[in-house]
Amino acid sequence: MNHKSWIGVMIPLGEAWRDVIAAELFGLGCTGIEERANGLYVTFEQSGEKDWREAVSRLVRRYDPGFDAVTLECTVVRAENWNENWKIHFKPFRLGRHIVIRPEWETANLQPGDVELVITPKMAFGTGHHETTRLILELLEEQPLANHSLLDAGTGSGILALYAVKQGAGPVTAFDIDPEATANALENEKLNALEGRIRWITGVLNDVPPAGYDYILANINRNVLLELPAEFIRYSHPGTHLILSGLLHTDEDAVRAAYEGQGWQVTRRAGQGEWMAISLKRQNQEKNQ
C-alpha cells in the first residue's frame, strides 16, 4: 500500500502574481497547483527535513516583500484523500480541436474525429489540465504523427505518449525519473488498451539509448531544458521536430538562444496565460559540436 503523503499549502494571493509564482513553485518542487478564489493551493511531497512554509514564504516575498508567512495554511494530505477529491472535481474536458481527456470513472460525449485519452490521475503527475500540457497537445495535434518515431522526455502520466500512439506514431519511447510516474503511465496505457505499444524507461535522458527520433517532446522546466539542446542532438536527425514546454514567456529568449546555437530553428510558438510552448526543427548543420 502507498503510504506517501503530501503537504498542502494554501497561499493567499491576488491575481497579479499568480502565474509567475505558480511557475516558480513548480521549480521549487511543487507537485500540483489549484487556483482558488483567494489564492493558490499547492502540494509538495512530504519530507522530514524540508520546511515548506519557509521555502514558500521566501519565494513569495521576492514578488511581494510584505508577505507574511503566518497567513499560509499547511496541512498533511494523504494520497488516498487527494485521489478521492479528484473524483469529485475531475470531469471530462476537451482541448484543441479533437482531444478529449476523461478520468476512468467518467464517460465523455465524443464527436466524429475525436481522440479520447483515459487516465487515472495521481497526485504528482499531469492530467492535461495544466497549460503546458495543453499547449504541447495542441501543437502535436497539428503534426502528422502516423508512422513517425517519438520520444517523450519527462512523461509524467504518459498522456503525451499515449496521444501520439493513438495517432499512429511508432515506435514511441517515454521516460521519467520518478518510478511512480512510470507506474502511473503503465496504468494509463492499460486503460487506453495500448499495452506494449510504448517503451517506458525510469531514468534520465542518458538512460535512453540514442536514436534518431522524428519527434521529441519535453514538458519539463526552463533550467532543465537549458541543459539539453546539445544532448537532444544524439536523439534526433536533420528534420526532427522538438516541442518544448514548461516555459514562461519570459524564458523564451534564453531558451531560443540555447537551442538555435545547437542548430534548432523555431518553427512555431504558442501561449496561454503566462505559459508558452516552442516548436523547433533540427537543421542540416549541427553547430558547436
Tell me the pLDDT band of 287, cut-offs 50, 70 and 90.
very low
pTM of the model: 0.74
Higher pLDDT, 58 or 197: 197
Q: Residue 1 has what pLDDT?
A: 41
pLDDT in tens, 180-196: 888 889 999 999 999 99
pLDDT at 97 over 80: yes
Mean pLDDT of 151-156: 92
Instruction: Check whether residue 33 and residue 114 sit in a common domain.
Output: no
User: What are the CA-CA distances from residue 263 to residues 18, 61, 251, 285 (Å)?
Assistant: 35, 39, 19, 6
Same domain, 65 and 182: no
Mean pLDDT on 77-104: 72
In a domain, 289, yes or no: no
191 and 100 share one domain: yes
In a domain, 288, yes or no: no
Q: Is residue 200 part of a domain?
A: yes
Query: In terms of domains, do 67 and 29 share one?
Result: yes
Task: Report the amino acid identity of residue 4.
Answer: K
Mean of the per-residue pLDDT values of the chain:
84
What would the pLDDT profile of 201-260 be if each residue is shown by its tens digit? 999 999 999 999 999 999 988 888 999 999 999 999 999 999 999 888 889 999 999 999
Question: Which domain-ending residue is among 85, 108, 141?
Answer: 85
Question: Is 172:164 a contact under the CB 8 Å cutoff?
Answer: yes
- Which tops the pLDDT comparison, 29 or 119? 119
Distance CA 264, CA 258 (A): 9
Q: Are residues 201 and 229 in the same domain?
A: yes
Task: Print the domain residue range for 61.
Answer: 5-85
Q: What integer is the mean pLDDT of 125-152?
A: 85
Domain boundary among 85, 114, 143: 85
Region 267-286 average pLDDT: 86
Distance CA 229, CA 232 (A): 5
Amino acid making up residue 158: G
